[in-house]
């Protein structure tokens, strides 16, 4: 009889039945090792914390607090009055919220006094879009959601409204419905510092006339007031630190040099006579140069200075109109100098700036100019954005940008998928404040002025050993028929590394049939050449013979902050929302 027939015939009576979660054999052995007569005292637990969990600084008071916490949740145990743990309570501690894989309680612990260019910054792309890049609504809702997740860079594309007397936010030249700029600004003010008190940068892609730029200056000034950081119209010599900019809003865009009516720039943004629609250059790459010849500085590369492909034009014509009050608001100056990529990456000792490259431009440039990009990002800010064909709001591999020191790897925060999960994982580091200090090797210059070479093959620095014991919680967080109409699910786990190319890999456990509480008990090893940039990827899927495997949860964790020992790892939905009950019991060790 086939399995499917068996399920149809016999599983109705058992499909909602759940076995009690039971400690795996290795956990039972550890309990025996660190207990006497089936009782774990404070001294026993303290020894377990220091020897197995590698919490060298753990105190007996902390061990006692752990016992008290577990017993409060297990009041039915007759050991409550004795302040000790039995196997059930010990297992409850290991698999409980009190034992996470990274410690949010330590909060911000990186040095926050270095210049902004020394940090990876949680960065959004077209932050106002609710869905795809072509026809979704523009709204302040995704901006609010991003800020609540700790995103620190919000991008707004600003255009004249239909009557040319006010400013809208929309994806130019598409069917996206606009939202008023003032609504976005007010939402940013209200929600900017809910998740983090560190600065929020607003990157503006500007398609405005000088009179509307002046209006933007007025709206920004009135909305943010003293919260706005505006050092004046001159370029900064050095970027301030995140610490010095706490609870401040920063504006970044290309300072207006002039308004060219000849450019028909706002070429009536949509010229009805021509039947053409002006689309913002960043999203569509209409005038984005191809860096095919990135190894030769030639005329083709000189195209790079014509458009920043970010609505940041660098034209060299005489000024006609100025919006000085708008220019004074810009703290982080963006734009590309004349002379192609080599000029773009030149470091000016007297001023700092922001450069924008598409994911494709960065990839091609990195083939030849990897070290120059790293040197540039030691003082200046590099922003990377998705290529134009990602109309579905998908994302790209952020590691290419990060390994070259790019601070603003801009993502579509509504583009749920593995790339975004890795992004979310990276920014779980440093208390989730949205700023992660770059590794020292990206910031240092050697005795002969040399910098890190991203193409250089490095030796293995450490090996991460990951053991997946078991999982639980799907029975409570999913409908009982979600995975299979007739029987319990067939789960398998995928575990791997997102990092530099040499470190990136995914591995898979066996599939366990008909089990709401799968106990895989499998171990994997991951040699890491650049552990500082590595993110541990964890997914659970349910095997489906006839259709695509069902999603059962995911999380990504910064390897730099993994706690050694046995930990309870909560899983999240595709959107990154934490499930109430679903988690894995895992062991982490560095050898």
Q: Angle at Cα 532 formed by Cα 531 and Cα 535, nearest 5°? A: 70
Q: Which CATH architecture has domain 116-258+323-336+348-440?
A: Alpha-Beta Barrel (3.20)
Residue tagged 């900017």 (tokens):
192
For 518-532, write each residue's pLDDT tens digit: 999 999 999 999 999
DSSP 256: P
Residue closest to 287 by CA, chosen among 391, 177, 361, 353: 361
> Cα separation of 202 and 180, whole Å?
15
Distances (CA, A) of 319 to 235, 252, 261, 395: 19, 21, 11, 38
Q: Is the dihedral of CA 419, 422, 426, 428 positive or negative?
A: positive
Of the listed ranges 308-312, 398-402, 567-571, the least confidently predicted one is 308-312
Distances (CA, A) of 65 to 31, 39, 72, 322, 570: 18, 17, 11, 64, 22
pLDDT of the residue at 66: 92
> Cα separation of 249 and 202, whole Å?
7
If one compares 79 and 42, the residue with the highest pLDDT of the two is 42
Q: Angle at Cα 121 formed by Cα 118 and Cα 122, nearest 5°? A: 165
Residue closest to 340 by CA, chosen among 291, 406, 389: 291
What is the secondary structure of 274-343 as a DSSP string? Answer: TTEE---HHHH-TTPPP-TTTTS--HHHHGGGT--SSS-----S------HHHHHHEEEEB---SSHHHH
> Cα separation of 125 and 382, whole Å?
14
pLDDT of the residue at 21: 81
SS3 state at 187? helix
Q: Is pLDDT at 578 greater than 90 in this prediction? A: yes
> Cα separation of 174 and 277, whole Å?
8
Q: Is pLDDT at 591 greater than 70 in this prediction? A: yes
Quick one: pLDDT band at residue 301, thresholds 50, 70, 90? very low
Q: Is pLDDT at 8 greater than 80 in this prediction? A: no
Q: Is the dihedral of CA 282, 284, 286, 291 positive or negative?
A: positive
For 540-558, write each residue's pLDDT tens digit: 999 988 889 999 999 999 9
For residues 404-427, give the mean pLDDT: 97
Q: Is pLDDT at 19 greater than 70 in this prediction? A: no
Average pLDDT, the chain: 86
Length, in residues, of the chain: 591
User: Which residues fall within 8 angstroms of residue 453, CB to CB, at 6 or more apart?
Assistant: 370, 371, 374
Distances (CA, A) of 343 to 116, 238, 337, 380, 542: 22, 19, 7, 13, 52
Fold of the domain spanning 460-591: Immunoglobulin-like (2.60.40)
For residues 39-62, give the mean pLDDT: 95
pLDDT of the residue at 321: 59
pLDDT of the residue at 322: 63
For residues 165-194, give the mean pLDDT: 96
Gap between the terminal Cα atoms of the chain = 48
User: Which residues fall within 8 angstroms of residue 309, CB to CB, at 6 or more apart?
Assistant: 281, 282, 285, 287, 288, 289, 356, 358, 361
> Cα separation of 568 and 19, whole Å?
19
Long-range contacts formed by 438-442: CB under 8 A, 24+ apart: 438/118, 438/119, 438/120, 438/405, 438/407, 439/530, 439/532, 439/533, 441/532, 442/374, 442/377, 442/378, 442/405
Distances (CA, A) of 530 to 190, 396, 505, 527: 39, 20, 13, 9
Q: Residue 555 forms beta bridges with which residues?
A: 538
pLDDT of the residue at 259: 40
Q: Is pLDDT at 538 greater than 90 in this prediction? A: yes
What CATH number labels 20-99? 1.10.238.10
If one compares 161 and 15, the residue with the highest pLDDT of the two is 161
Provide the whole-model pTM. Answer: 0.87
> Cα separation of 76 and 89, whole Å?
11
Q: Is pLDDT at 373 greater than 60 in this prediction? A: yes
Task: Give the tokens for residue 93.
Answer: 């501690």
Q: Is pLDDT at 41 greater than 50 in this prediction? A: yes
Catalytic positions are 125, 171
> Cα separation of 373 and 383, whole Å?
11
Sheet with 578-590, strands from edge to edge, namely 505-508, 491-498, 535-542, 550-558, 565-572, 578-590, 462-472, 522-528
Domain boundaries of the chain, sorted by first residue: 20-99, 116-258+323-336+348-440, 460-591
Helix, strand, coil percentages for the chain (3-state, nearest 5):
30, 25, 50
């Amino acid at each position: 009889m086939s399995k499917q027939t068996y399920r149809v015939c016999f599983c109705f009576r058992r499909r909602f039945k759940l076995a009690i979660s039971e400690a795996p054999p290795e956990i039972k052995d550890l309990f025996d090792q660190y207990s006497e007569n089936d009782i774990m005292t404070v001294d026993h637990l303290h020894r377990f914390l220091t020897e197995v969990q590698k919490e060298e600084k753990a105190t007996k008071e902390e061990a006692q607090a752990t016992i008290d916490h577990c017993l409060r949740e297990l009041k039915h145990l007759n050991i409550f009055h004795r302040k000790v743990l039995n196997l059930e309570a010990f297992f409850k501690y290991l698999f409980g919220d009190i034992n996470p894989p990274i410690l949010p309680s330590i909060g911000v612990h990186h040095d926050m006094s270095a210049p902004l260019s020394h940090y990876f910054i949680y960065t959004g792309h077209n932050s106002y879009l609710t869905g795809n890049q072509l026809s979704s609504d523009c709204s302040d809702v995704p901006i609010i959601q991003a800020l609540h997740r700790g995103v620190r860079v919000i991008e707004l594309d600003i255009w004249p409204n239909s009557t040319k007397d006010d400013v809208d936010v929309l994806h130019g030249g598409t069917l996206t419905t606009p939202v008023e700029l003032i609504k976005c600004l007010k939402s940013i003010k209200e929600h900017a510092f809910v998740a983090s008190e560190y600065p929020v940068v607003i990157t503006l892609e500007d398609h405005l006339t000088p009179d509307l730029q002046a209006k933007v200056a007025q709206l920004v000034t009135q909305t943010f007031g003293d919260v706005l950081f505006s050092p004046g119209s001159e370029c900064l010599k050095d970027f301030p630190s995140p610490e010095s900019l706490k609870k401040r809003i920063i504006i970044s865009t290309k300072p207006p040099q002039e308004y060219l009516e000849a450019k028909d720039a706002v070429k009536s943004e949509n010229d009805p006579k021509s039947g053409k629609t002006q689309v913002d250059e960043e999203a569509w790459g209409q005038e984005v140069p191809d860096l095919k010849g990135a190894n030769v500085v030639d005329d083709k590369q000189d195209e790079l200075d014509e458009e920043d492909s970010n609505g940041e034009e660098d034209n060299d014509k005489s000024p006609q109109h100025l919006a000085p009050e708008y220019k004074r608001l810009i703290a982080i100056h963006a734009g590309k100098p004349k002379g192609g990529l080599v000029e773009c990456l030149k470091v000016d000792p007297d001023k700092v700036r922001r450069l924008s490259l598409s994911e494709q431009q960065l990839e091609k440039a990195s083939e030849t100019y990897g070290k120059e990009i790293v040197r540039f990002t030691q003082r200046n800010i590099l922003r990377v954005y998705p290529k134009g064909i990602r109309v579905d709001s998908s994302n790209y591999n952020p590691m290419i940008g990060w390994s070259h020191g790019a601070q603003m790897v801009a993502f579509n925060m509504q583009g749920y998928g593995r790339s975004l999960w890795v992004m979310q994982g990276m920014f779980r580091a440093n208390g989730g404040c949205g700023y992660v200090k770059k590794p020292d090797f990206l910031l240092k210059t050697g005795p002969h002025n040399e910098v890190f070479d991203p193409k250089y093959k490095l030796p293995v620095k450490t090996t991460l050993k990951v053991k997946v014991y078991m999982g639980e919680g799907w029975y409570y967080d999913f409908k009982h028929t979600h995975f299979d109409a007739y029987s319990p699910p067939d789960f398998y786990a995928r575990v791997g590394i997102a990092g530099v190319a040499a470190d990136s890999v995914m591995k898979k456990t066996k599939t366990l049939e008909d089990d709401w509480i799968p106990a895989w008990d499998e171990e994997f090893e991951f040699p890491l050449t650049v552990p500082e940039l590595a993110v541990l990827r964890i997914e659970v899927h349910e095997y489906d013979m006839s259709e695509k495997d069902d999603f059962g949860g995911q999380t990504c964790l910064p390897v730099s902050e993994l706690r050694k020992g046995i930990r309870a790892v909560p899983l999240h939905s595709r959107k990154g929302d934490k499930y109430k009950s679903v988690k894995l019991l895992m062991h982490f060790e560095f050898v």
